[in-house]
Amino acid sequence: MKRYALGLDYGTNSCRSLIVDLADGRELTGAVFTYPSGEAGVLSNPHDPNCARQHPQDYLDGLATVTDAIRQARDVEPGFDPADIVGIGVDTTGSTPMPVDADGTPLAMKPEFHDDLDAMAWLWKDHTSHAEASEIRQQAADLRPHYLDQSGGTYSPEWFWSKVLHCRRAAPRVFEHAYSFVECCDWIPAVLAGDTTPDRLARGVCAAGHKAMYSADWGGLPDAEFLEKLDPALAELRPRLYDRAATSDRPAGRLSAAWAEQLGLQPGIAIAVGAIDAHMGAVGAGITEGTLVKILGTSSCDMMVQPTDGEITDIPGVCGIVDGSILPDCYGIEAGQPAVGDLFLWFVKHLVPDRYGATLDEKFAALADAAYAQKPGEHGLLALDWNNGNRSILADARLTGLIVGQSLHTEAHEIYRALIEATAFGALTIIEHMEEHGVRVREIVNCGGLATKNPLLMQIYADVTGRPMKVSRSEQTCALGAAVFGAVAAGAFPNVARAQAAMCGIREHVFEPDTDARKVYDELYDLYRRLHGAFGTTSSPGTLHRVMKALVHLRERQRGEYCA
């Protein structure tokens, strides 16, 4: 008998349903739904560029992709029976919390908060909570330094407590009416299970640990005294949040009869505990101890796991290390680069003349062709990939880009190649940093749009790191990872590793490092590290860190912008 799992992946602009064969990981169909609200699902405030919200109704409407996927599956596989879908997994962006009432209904869906941006889901990339993030980071550093252990010593405006505290201050009416706050990845499984009551719904350890300072080690969320000091209202909210969080191999609940009927699925099938997209993506790419999964899109997420029964030291400058956030019984380690695809897109949009092509796609293709024809080092250029700051290993969002080596003959495709190389040097820096802290990288599996669509980048990554670059077989590793958890939560496999062995794989073509190119890149990497130290740290002799920082301060002062 055939058995399938359903993966639901909620992204920034769209969501998708993927039906996967448990026998071999074959992806039957994938249906996509672009959110109708705002600009591709993102609601913005014309008076505040930092604001990014989503309407939860879009998430519910997106469940129509399940019936679409079933319909398509019947077309491609005669005899397909949706009753053979045994479990559902859900991943979403995060931290994307929303204020809900005592029934778990988002305030945004209640008439009295209709059109109130502060009652919506606060999308991961909402940056309105700058000041609160600084305050929380500072107070934690002073009073509870261990609260920052899981997040590389920092606390981001993008994370749970920053957003909740900002809501309390900037939108007190919304805060007062909120019984609780629920992450998107926890809310969707609860909806499907037919019970969104905040006190009962399962919270995933992934969002809790990486975004809300949750740890079983200190009994859950930050203690009441700590929260009280930030704002008494947070301490008052604390009991209406949660004190336990679960891994995604566990069921969050069972599919309700109502949703089963609406979606055309069997009632009672397992719904796994939700998690953040990159973490489930790592599982879909086949993560295991020693495997670095690089999710290469607008930014990069570099995911690893390390068994909790082994040794793990603190890894400074790595965004997150959370027990169970990727695989059960493993620490989930998350590092990354805040601009990869975004860096290339910036360059091609703003600095490439039209003789390379009329559209962005044409320009990218022509740049790649021309860059491919060059030997490493031939352009004489070296760049720092910090246009959007450096997440790992410097953990400094306020660094900037740099390019050196230009002559009067330097052309756009040479700079394009130098920018790809810069992201590769940044990637190697993370790998070396992980290994220096005891996390061995034995294999690298890449996934995401750049991994499948940019062979020049993959080859350069192989040449720069001196390691083979494998590419995940799936183009939807997040949804696939969700399906893996759906299957495990349903008991179709005894554990995640067995499910991965059956359902995940890599492509036949592996990008192997070229020995000659490697030698040149070794020289260039030495130079990159010199610049990295000089501009990124204050400890190198003759540091130029102050120069980069002074430029950012000056820019903000002259623009009249927020100044940290």
Residues at the contact surface with a second copy, assessed by CB under 8 A: 339, 342-343, 346, 349-354, 375-382, 387-388, 400-412, 415, 520, 523-524, 527, 530-531, 534-535, 540-544, 546-548, 550-552, 554-555, 557-559
- CB of residue 550 to a second copy, shortest distance in Å: 6
CA distance 285 to 292: 10
Q: Which is nearer to a second copy, 1 or 408 (CB)?
A: 408
* CA-CA-CA-CA dihedral for 432, 436, 437, 439, to nearest 10: 60
Q: Which is nearer to a second copy, 35 or 528 (CB)?
A: 528
- CB of residue 513 to a second copy, shortest distance in Å: 18
Strand 291-296 relative to strand 443-447: parallel, antiparallel, unpaired?
parallel
CA distance 31 to 42: 20
- CB of residue 532 to a second copy, shortest distance in Å: 11
Q: Which is nearer to a second copy, 147 or 347 (CB)?
A: 347
Long-range contacts of 54-57 (CB under 8 A, 24+ apart): 54/96, 54/120, 54/121, 54/123, 54/184, 55/108, 55/120, 55/121, 56/98, 56/106, 56/108, 56/109, 56/120, 56/121, 56/184, 56/187, 57/108, 57/109
Q: Which is nearer to a second copy, 211 or 545 (CB)?
A: 545
Q: Which is nearer to a second copy, 131 or 544 (CB)?
A: 544
CA distance 277 to 89: 11
- CB of residue 559 to a second copy, shortest distance in Å: 6
Q: Which is nearer to a second copy, 241 or 534 (CB)?
A: 534
Identity (one letter) of the amino acid at 81? D
- CB of residue 407 to a second copy, shortest distance in Å: 5
- CB of residue 470 to a second copy, shortest distance in Å: 28
Q: Which tokens in the block code for residue 170? A: 């900037």
Q: Which is nearer to a second copy, 348 or 471 (CB)?
A: 348
- CB of residue 478 to a second copy, shortest distance in Å: 23
CA distance 85 to 487: 9
- Asked if 266 contacts 255 with a C-beta cutoff of 8 angstroms, the reply is yes
Q: Which is nearer to a second copy, 10 or 347 (CB)?
A: 347
Q: Which is nearer to a second copy, 166 or 545 (CB)?
A: 545
- CB of residue 40 to a second copy, shortest distance in Å: 18
CB within 8 Å of 73: residues ≥ 6 apart: 19, 28, 29, 80, 82
Q: For residue 198, which of 266, 98, 74, 287 has the smallest C-alpha distance?
A: 98
- Asked if 430 contacts 299 with a C-beta cutoff of 8 angstroms, the reply is no
- CB of residue 48 to a second copy, shortest distance in Å: 16
3-state secondary structure of 296: strand
- Asked if 65 contacts 148 with a C-beta cutoff of 8 angstroms, the reply is no
Q: For residue 315, which of 196, 441, 484, 494 has the smallest C-alpha distance?
A: 441
Rounded CA Rg of the chain: 23
- CB of residue 334 to a second copy, shortest distance in Å: 21
For residue 528, the Cα-to-chain-centroid distance in whole angstroms is 26
Given the structure tokens 């959370």, which residue do they identify?
Answer: 322
Identity (one letter) of the amino acid at 321? I
- CB of residue 335 to a second copy, shortest distance in Å: 20
Q: Which is nearer to a second copy, 24 or 354 (CB)?
A: 354
Q: Which is nearer to a second copy, 309 or 354 (CB)?
A: 354
Q: Which is nearer to a second copy, 450 or 488 (CB)?
A: 450
CA distance 499 to 86: 13
* CA-CA-CA-CA dihedral for 471, 477, 478, 484, to nearest 10: -130
**Each residue of 100-112: b (16+ CB within 10 Å) or e?**
bbeebebbbbeee
Q: For residue 500, which of 341, 281, 324 has the smallest C-alpha distance?
A: 281
- CB of residue 134 to a second copy, shortest distance in Å: 20
CA distance 203 to 405: 51
- CB of residue 295 to a second copy, shortest distance in Å: 19
- Other C-beta atoms closer than 10 Å to the C-beta of 443 total 15
- CB of residue 192 to a second copy, shortest distance in Å: 37
Helix (H) or strand (E) holding 169: helix 160-170
Q: Which is nearer to a second copy, 82 or 376 (CB)?
A: 376
Q: Which is nearer to a second copy, 398 or 453 (CB)?
A: 398
